[in-house]
Chain A
């Protein structure tokens, strides 16, 4: 709505349109978005922006205000722990519906591992809501429990044909110590275990501090200099198709 208001102001200031045009833009505002009976469809395009961190199958949740995939400073859910430690999105997607059935509209997942430099498009459909949001999550698999994505991104102002694109930050699920050892990193760098039910002492979601690796003198690390990363890890675009 804000964008439309700005567009109207802009038109008034710069072009001094006749009242007919202003009226028609006002109709445009009234027609934007839709109501809860309007089917909506979004295309999520994810590009792996890292050098050598394959991304686990992307998890997508279309939801209303009440759901949140995670909160900085709060403990990760069991589903997010599983996604961030093993790369398996199933529990994260299933628990979202189970925990917040009324708030979760639909879920989708990517077809498989998204390699560095590769791009995948995933469509997700559901009924429009005035508080429609999206949550997207994927593990950086050559880590203990790093993931990228976004939660509670508002989609209500996005009109058909419009898109938003951003570089998604890297988070630490806070559920496993960042030991970087071969036994604990599941990705191709190590082939270690996925999810471990143990939680770390500081059991909270935060931004990720990065990996140390052997190249920085950490001999026990299974990672080398190629596994380092900086923010962010994925370019994500969400386009409203319908």
Chain B
């Protein structure tokens, strides 16, 4: 039974190594066939902070990001928590198949990484990484990201410019490859917790139908993004 206090000391030594500053480089790739990522928000934070949690309601900041691509609220929130953040590294949307590199990011004592960006065109879909523990061991790590639904807006799949929180519709379609005058897939959002996105349905009618999305272009399957993280 003498082992316990010794083990406790050991755990102190091990955990004390985690406050070292970590320098990471991240390559993020959009794996989708036809879905853009709106301006990306990457943040390194402590274990106490969560950007989003599956099964819980999205914050107002996540809602603004997921419905309209607006990450300014998330930036303000992260700054107030002494997190280390990178905003909009692609300087605009990240196109399907495209990659962006974040070089030599000093995350300080923040050892959890979260990443979000709106999936466009969707109503309130976003690519997300929730509190990934940044390893203290130097090395190259690959993490696959899934598509989430913020649960804050009905997935009507109507492209009408509606991007403000609480305004129905999809703000735009950067690929200019969708339809118009859709009647809408649904006007309800019964599950208001953050959940795995069920995907878009789309249709093949570019001048009507239920959806302004093209079923041949805008569908995806998880994963939707790949992160290659180099810890120095």
Contact = CB atoms under 8 A, between A and B. Distances in A.
A213 B199 CA distance: 13
Interface string A3-37: 00011001100110100010011011001000000
Interface string A106-126: 000000000011110000000
Interface stretch (B9-17, B35-43, B81-89): B9-17
A229 B17 contact: no
Nearest to A217: B203
Nearest to A4: B14
Contacts of A230: 146-147, 196-199, 220-222
Contacts of B215: 216
Interface in B211-232: 215, 220-222
A131 B170 CA distance: 50
B39 to A, nearest CB: 24
Interface in B50-106: 54-55
Interface string A202-242: 00000000100101100000000111111111010000000
Interface of B: 3, 6-7, 9-11, 13-14, 17, 20, 54-55, 136-137, 146-147, 149, 151, 155, 185-186, 190-193, 195-199, 201, 210, 215, 220-222
Contact of B210 (A11, A215, A227): A215
Nearest to A15: B17
B201 A216 contact: yes
B17 A167 contact: no
A-B pairs, 10 with minimum CB distance: A117-B193, A47-B55, A228-B198, A116-B191, A49-B196, A28-B10, A51-B198, A231-B222, A235-B54, A215-B201
A232 B137 CA distance: 29
A48 interface: yes
Contacts of B192: 117
Contact of B54 (A49, A215, A229): A49
Contacts of B210: 215
A99 B201 CA distance: 43
Interface string A24-63: 1101100100000000000000011111100000000000
Residue picked from A21, A117, A226, most chain B C-beta under 10 Å: A117
